[in-house]
Structure 1
């Protein structure tokens, strides 16, 4: 019976010896596959992040261009209005000077003209404030 007892442990050792390298290769294969999967996910997320950043940058540039165009258009309109008001104020100043020179003490035209000039000046100030706010 002793010979049977000796052969049994030898067989169990030889089967574990045969299975040892295959288990190591199997585990190595799966560790490499997991590592490659992690690397692929990391690379793909970086790619998506760059793509989203590029799209956001493009959209931001487009929106800034639209805002700049609107801003320049508003500034141009307000500048024209200010020029018109300055011309009107200049005309009223000339007319007021003329009326003051030619007015008698009985006429009230200079007061009306001065009131109109005051209103135009107020409008001019309001437009200047709007331009400052837009800037």
Structure 2
């Protein structure tokens, strides 16, 4: 048998270079998974920051609104208090006038007239109203 040698058909100046391997699919998938995970983590972080900012803004707005409502409430209470005080003063003046009238009518009343009893009942009604006004003023304080 003849041994024949096979010569390479490539020119002598060129040597065969090894084939460059393509990046594997697993490397490609792992990079995509890392990118997706980074996106999800970034989204979670960003939403947390936004929630924190919103909560801070809402608490500030709520505190401002509560302060405004409190000042309005206090001014209304002061107005009501001054109104009730003036009303109580007026009623007290009426009660005093009725007491004087009652004393006068008791002094001048005869046994046949019943006007003093009517005046006394009117004075007692006015006193009841005065007591109710005082109670409502105490409630407002």
Q: Same fold (TM over 0.5)?
A: yes
Cα deviation, 1:3-57, whole Å, max 9, x if unaligned, reads xxxxxxxx7xx54xx4355654443343223212210111011111211221122
Structure 1 residues 29-40: aligned runs within 5 Å = 29-40=35-46
Larger Rg: 1 or 2? 2
1:66 and 2:72 are equivalent in the alignment: yes
Matching residue within 87, 94, 102 for 1:88:
94
Matching residue within 111, 125, 128 for 2:131:
125
SS in structure 2 at match of 1:105 = coil
**How far apart are the structure 2 equivalents of 1:115 and 1:36?**
82
What is residue 54 of structure 1 aligned with on the other side? 60
> What value does the CA root-mean-square deviation take over the aligned residues?
2.8
- TM-score when scaled to structure 2? 0.68
**How far apart are the structure 2 equivalents of 1:123 and 1:51?**
49
- TM-score when scaled to structure 1? 0.70
What is residue 101 of structure 1 aligned with on the other side? 107
Unaligned ranges ≥5, structure 1: 1-10
State the number of aligned residues: 123
1:117 deviates by 0.9
**How far apart are the structure 2 equivalents of 1:23 and 1:118?**
95
Q: Select the structure that is richer in helix.
A: 1
**How far apart are the structure 2 equivalents of 1:22 and 1:102?**
117
Unaligned ranges ≥5, structure 2: 1-18
